[in-house]
A = this chain, B = another copy of it.
Amino acid sequence: MANSRSGDKLLDRMVRILESFTADEPLLTVAQIAERADLPAATAYRLVGDLADQGLVVREAGGVRLGLRLWELANRASAARDLRRIALPYLEDLNQLLRQHTQLSVLHEDEVLVLERLSRPGAAVNKADVAGRLPVHRTSMGMVLLAFAPAHVQADYLARHGASAAERHGDIRRLLTDIRHHGYASFHGFVDDTTTGAAAPILDRSGHAVAAVGVVIPRGSDALAAVVMALMTAARGASRDLQGGGGRPVSH
């Protein structure tokens, strides 16, 4: 139907405009938006105007940025928010006890999407940003999410990225079985050479990971065993809260 097609196309353009904005470049001129969204300047100008009328973007001195209205719409009923609400007290406990960056993430479109990150001044290097993405088979959180994913999710991921994963890990299936057996994942120097990451899953009633809790510590730290124990304890607490209460699973 022509109507549907044009509507769909317009939505696609709107999404491409919203995608132009990044953590590093949150303020863009309309010309920059047109280039990034691959749109004619006049079209970008008109669509940015429509988005601004709805408060989804706002005009500022120097350019355009995402509006609070978009943030409000996306956050007030999101699965990310529910999960975050359940996990946050446990993340805070870990952050206080371990004095290292603590993160919450989910598997999303074959990547690790970071939902929350609590920082510590002077803690180990950490590349994760809230709403940023990390590679699955190069992070402890990703490996734990993959190990505890439903069978079809794991199979789909390996069908697409199995070769690259095997290049790094050798027998990836066996490694995932080991992670499931031990209940956590820990790898040295995955994202950064100077750090060790460790992660444990937040599980739903069927035993599948809905999220991962991760900590990054300096590589070679004697504290790793204690960190893993704290991490697993926190992840179990969050799993219990999720399974017992108002927790809704996150759709991938």
Contact = CB atoms under 8 A, between A and B. Distances in A.
A104 B185 CA distance: 34
Given A8-B53, A15-B54, A69-B108, 11 more contacts: A7-B50, A11-B54, A18-B74, A26-B77, A26-B78, A26-B82, A65-B251, A68-B108, A68-B113, A75-B131, A76-B132
Nearest to A7: B10
A98 interface: no
B65 A71 contact: no
6 contacts: A22-B76, A23-B81, A65-B251, A68-B80, A75-B131, A88-B119
Interface string A34-76: 0000000000001100110111101010000111111111111
A118 interface: yes
B7 A72 contact: no
A51 B8 CA distance: 8
A128 B244 CA distance: 23
A153 interface: no
B251 A68 contact: yes
A174 interface: no
Interface string A168-211: 00000000000000000000000000000000000000000000
B73 A15 contact: yes
A82 B129 CA distance: 11
A10 B6 CA distance: 10
Contact of A18 (B73, B82, B250): B73
A173 to B, nearest CB: 27
A15 B22 CA distance: 22
Interface in A15-34: 15, 18-19, 21-23, 25-27
A119 to B, nearest CB: 7
A108 B4 CA distance: 34
A248 interface: yes
B74 A75 contact: yes
A90 to B, nearest CB: 12
A85 interface: yes
Closest A-B pairs by Cβ, 7 of them: A74-B74, A76-B131, A21-B77, A75-B131, A26-B77, A58-B251, A71-B80
A71 B74 contact: yes
A57 to B, nearest CB: 10
Interface string A215-252: 00000000000000000000000000000000010111
